[in-house]
Amino acid sequence: MRIRWITTDSLGGSFLTDSQLMKYATEQYKVQFTDKRKEKVDLIVVSNISGIEKEVMEDLTIPYVKIEHDYGFCRWYDALCDFHKCKECTVRGELYTTLYQNSLLNYFMSPRQYSVHAFHLGDIPNVRFVQSQVDVDALLTLNKAKEAGYTIAPVAIGKHKGIEAVITWAQVHKRLVHVFGRMEETILLEKMSKAKYVKYEGLLPNTKLLEQMARAEEIVFLPFWTEPTGRVAIEAIFLQCKVDTNSNLGLTSWLKEPTAVDLSLQMYVSRFVFWQSIFNVMGISGGGNNAAL
């Protein structure tokens, strides 16, 4: 089986989850992947496609499935419609409704994330769920010796990721919080620079960020939007960190108090079911080497 996987993300959490799903299919079922438009394939997987939606829609002339990591129907990809007061979401909502209606399967990262889509777009057909994937083996090899009092917030400097709540948390607890993440709103950087107990450390590659998380006693992750899953929280649990979060975390709509054992099992089952569902809808029985035909 040959699949074209379409995504515009080459750095963030969706890319990391996509990579783990593709790696599993390559190793277990000999599935072949390409990102080339002109190559002949059996199926298209549509992942995050910010900025190229219309181009992608024109390409969907063969069966496809959709995996939704964020909120593509929203101009800002965060579904904070009351905050943004953006009128463009009506047009984008119609486009994404069509995308979902014609998809063989629509994968969401958590029941909580799907509920936001259903609220804005109505019921979506052929809904399935897939857990955010992390490289468990890589996490288990990291040195987890904790540095007393070391607290970090691995969040983008943007409203939806909850940086304002992190600033408030630091003031209330009077504890220095080291913030790692990409810059999205400079006005929030200015606010953070004036606050006590908060230090912006810049953006790190995922491997380096995980090393910082392995040192940390506590992770502060307080999203303002409805976080589709919360990959950071998953990694923190595997790295034996205390996680201070809130009810906006999609992960807790899977499991209320997840442990590393729970998550490891759930991720394995989730990626197995992800691919078996695709094979079934494509009429390929059994998976295995049959998926390569």
Kindly state whether residues 197 and 280 are assigned to the same domain.
Answer: no
Helices (H) and strands (E) in the chain, counts: 11, 11
Model pLDDT, residue 72: 92
In a domain, 189, yes or no: yes
Q: What range defines the domain where residue 121 resides?
A: 2-131+263-292
Query: Would residue 150 count as lying in a domain?
Result: yes
Domain shared by 179 and 104, yes or no: no
Percentages helix, strand, coil for the chain (3-state, rounded to 5) are 45, 15, 40
Taking the C-alpha atoms of 180, 251, 160 and 243 in order, what is their torsion angle to the nearest 10 degrees? -40
Would 79 be classed as within a structural domain? Answer: yes
User: Per-residue confidence at 255, pLDDT binned at 50, 70, 90?
Assistant: confident
* 12 and 106 co-located in one domain: yes
Do residues 120 and 54 share a domain? yes
Say if residue 289's pLDDT is above 60.
no
Same domain (yes/no): 81, 144: no
Mean pLDDT of 220-224: 97
- The verdict on residue 258 lying in a domain is no
Q: What is the CATH number of the domain that holds 184?
A: 3.40.50.2000
The confidence band for 292, taking pLDDT boundaries of 50, 70 and 90, is very low
On whether both 124 and 147 belong to a single domain, the answer is no
293 has pLDDT over 50: no
Please tell me the total count of domains within the chain: 2
Q: What is the mean pLDDT of residues 197-214?
A: 95
Helix (H) or strand (E) run with residue 108 in it:
strand 106-108
Asked if the structure places residue 193 within a domain, the reply is yes
Residue 36 lies in a domain: yes
* Mean pLDDT, range 97-108, rounded to an integer: 97
Q: Are residues 116 and 150 in the same domain?
A: no
Q: Domain for residue 233, yes or no?
A: yes
If asked whether residues 269 and 180 sit together in one domain, one would say: no
How confident is the model over 173-183, as pLDDT tens digits?
999 999 999 99
Q: Looking at the structure, do residues 267 and 187 belong to the same domain, yes or no?
A: no
Same domain, 60 and 169: no
Residues 216 and 122 in one domain: no
Q: Is residue 44 part of a domain?
A: yes
Using 50, 70 and 90 to split pLDDT, how confident is the model at 261? very high
Residue from 46, 23, 31, 63 nearest 107 by CA = 46
CB 69 within 8 A of CB 91: no
pLDDT band at 139 (very low <50, low <70, confident <90, very high): very high
> In the structure encoding, which two tokens stand for residue 239, read together?
């790295």
Percent of the chain with pLDDT over 90: 82
Q: Is the pLDDT of residue 115 over 80?
A: yes
Looking at the structure, do residues 121 and 158 belong to the same domain, yes or no?
no
Average pLDDT, the chain: 92
Please say whether the beta carbons of 95 and 52 come within 8 A.
Answer: no
State yes or no: pLDDT of 10 exceeds 50. yes
